[in-house]
Structure 1
Amino acid sequence: MHSLNTEFAAALAAWQANRRQELATAESWLGMAGLFWLEPGRNVLGSAADCPLRLPAGPACAGEVVWEPERDLLFWQATDGVMKPLVTDRDGAPTTVDLENWSFFVVDRDRRLALRLRDREWAQSRPFAGLDYFPPAPEWRIEARWLALPEPVRIEVPNVAGELRPVEIAWQAVFVHAGSEVCLLPMSVDENEVFFVFRDRSSGRESYGAGRFLKAVRPVGEVITLDFNRAYNPPCAFTPFATCPLPPPENWLPFAVPAGELKYCGAVAH
């Protein structure tokens, strides 16, 4: 048992170290500096007060993001004449455009496009101080049943912007807590992993109020491992410029889950 607990603690510490490294990089959510919804036509980007895509600093007019949905065209036209086609994040990694210490890319949210602006030098002025966690809790590494629903269901999942996104669900993770059966619905399932969004009685107290994310390896059989020690805060815990999904009512757990990431308080080193 001691060996198993030692192995568990070492694996969890490695996961937490990777999580910290991910958030400390130039590509971190902590470096997001803006989210601007695009209009069809020409969207001017710059630091001038009348620019619809407003840079916090830099050139008064850097160029235009041109979106022509009827022709399926999206490109960046810089003031120096450089033209660059843009690919959104709909099918994978989006095209990134660098402007001095800024960079931007376009996200697709159900055919609504938005420009996400990143400050690549954010850590120079406010280095990431790290994350806090509940104490390691092996008992919250749960072997749940992975069961197909009798028929797939379609639910509307809200996000922090107040929008609803339809999600089709064909599976559920089922486990027993304090004598009661609990079901968690996955928000997505691919060939490698299962993604959950949940809320519990610690949300808004010890943990992030809007809920937390959890990923699990997709099982081969009928058992899925839910390690709540690896429950983590969504991007919207670190920036107002994210459009995170919120947990559907079915995933509001009626008990506290004292495992995983605690609420991020925004403490930074200076």
Structure 2
Amino acid sequence: MTDDFTRDWRAWHARREAALAEPHGWLSLTAFHWLDGDPARLDGLPGLWSSDGDAVTVTAAAADRLIADGAPVEGTAEFKTPAGVAWIDYGDKRLELAPRGGRHAVRVRDPQAPTRTGFTGVPAYDPDPAWVVTGDFTADPDRVEVGSVRAGVDQSLDALGTVRFDLAGETQELVAADAGNGRLWLLFRDPTNGDTTASFRQLTTAAPAADGTVALDFNRSMNMPCAFTEFGTCPLPPGPNRLTVAVTAGEREPA
């Protein structure tokens, strides 16, 4: 008989896999193109593309079928990215105009990507309530430089503070970044990395309680997008975020 804890985890895991498998989700990435100041063609895409670091400029004809905000790109158009990204549709593909480290890149999201069409799910450890622990959050806002998995892309995190907790009798501490709405985002390494899990994982928590306590459910540790695609630019965990205990919970390395 399945208990409530396992049933809740399975429902969460199913939602997670469904989100990954969306037509233009992380599994659909097929290309990553850096843009320079000089207009240039991109492999497999129509038009001329460039960036001055503040905006992306595209020159195309209506017949090229590049669609932005429901209208064809005709002539020269400029796309600023104040919210972090802009989008252009090209047939059933979506082109992500992504600012990264003072530059822009175009990432192609294709529903027919082999990583998506061949997706059979994310392997994971069996859920275990023993991996739900209580931590103590200490606020200490800071901007933390962390780098990324992609050479030449610098990343930084808005750190909110630290979470201290015990695992298998050993005290651990993780720098917690801002996940929005008071929630905490923990990027961490542990001894399972490179064996049964990817090189690092992530965990999002609810907002800390009034007394600073926060629940960490390592059964819901997830892979970062870069575990599924070579076209990711995932930020690396802050230097201190290395657990001493093997976390045999949560998502395993994708097959």
Normalised by the length of structure 1, the TM-score is: 0.81
* Aligned-residue offset at 1:23: 1.4
Give a deviation string over 1:92-120, Cα, whole Å, max 9, x none. Answer: 5x332222343212111232211111112
Is the 8 Å Cα contact of residues 153 and 169 (structure 1) preserved in structure 2? Answer: yes
The structure 1 segments of at least 4 consecutive aligned residues displaced by more than 6 Å after TM superposition are: none
Decide which of 15, 21, 24 is 1:24's aligned counterpart.
21
Separation in 2 of the partners of 1:168 and 1:125? 31
Q: 1:227 is matched with which residue?
A: 217
**Higher mean C-alpha deviation, range 231-240 or range 177-186:** 177-186
Residues 147 and 192 (structure 1), Cα distance of their counterparts in 2 relative to 1, 3 Å cut: closer
Q: Percent identity?
A: 29
Change (3 A) 1:73 1:212: closer
Which of the numbers 180, 187, 203 marks the counterpart of 1:214? 203
The match for 1:129 is 120
Match for residue 86 of structure 1? 79
1:1-80, aligned counterparts within 5 Å?
6-44=3-41, 53-55=42-44, 62-69=46-53, 72-80=54-62
Residue type matched to 1:17 in 2? A
Report the more deviating stretch, 161-170 or 243-252: 161-170
- What TM-score do you get using the length of structure 2 for normalisation? 0.85
Partner of 1:191 in structure 2? 181
Amino acid at match of 1:82: E
Q: How far apart, CA to CA, are the structure 1 residues paired with 2:115 and 2:137?
A: 45
Residue 179 of structure 1 deviates from its aligned partner by: 2.8
Aligned residues: 242
Residues 1:182 and 1:73: Cα distance change in structure 2 (over 3 Å):
closer
2:7 is aligned with what amino acid? A
Q: CA RMSD in A?
A: 2.4
Residue identity matched to 2:208: P
1:238: how far off? Answer: 0.7
2 CA distance for matches of 1:85 and 1:67?
A: 9
Unmatched runs of 5 consecutive residues or more in structure 1: 45-52, 56-60, 266-270
Local SS of the residue matching 1:214: strand
Determine which of 131, 146, 150 is the counterpart of 1:157.
Answer: 146
1:239-267 residue CA offsets vs partner (Å, 9 max, x unmatched) = 100001122231111110010001101xx
**Alpha-carbon shift at residue 40 of structure 1 (Å):** 1.4
Q: Report the secondary structure of 2:176's partner residue.
A: coil
The reply on whether 1:264 has 2:246 as its aligned counterpart is no
Does 2:144 correspond to 1:144? no
Paired position in structure 2 for 1:201? 191
Q: Residues 21 and 116 of structure 2 are in contact (CA less than 8 Å); yes or no, is this contact kept in structure 1? A: no
Structure 1 position 242 matched with structure 2 position 232 = yes
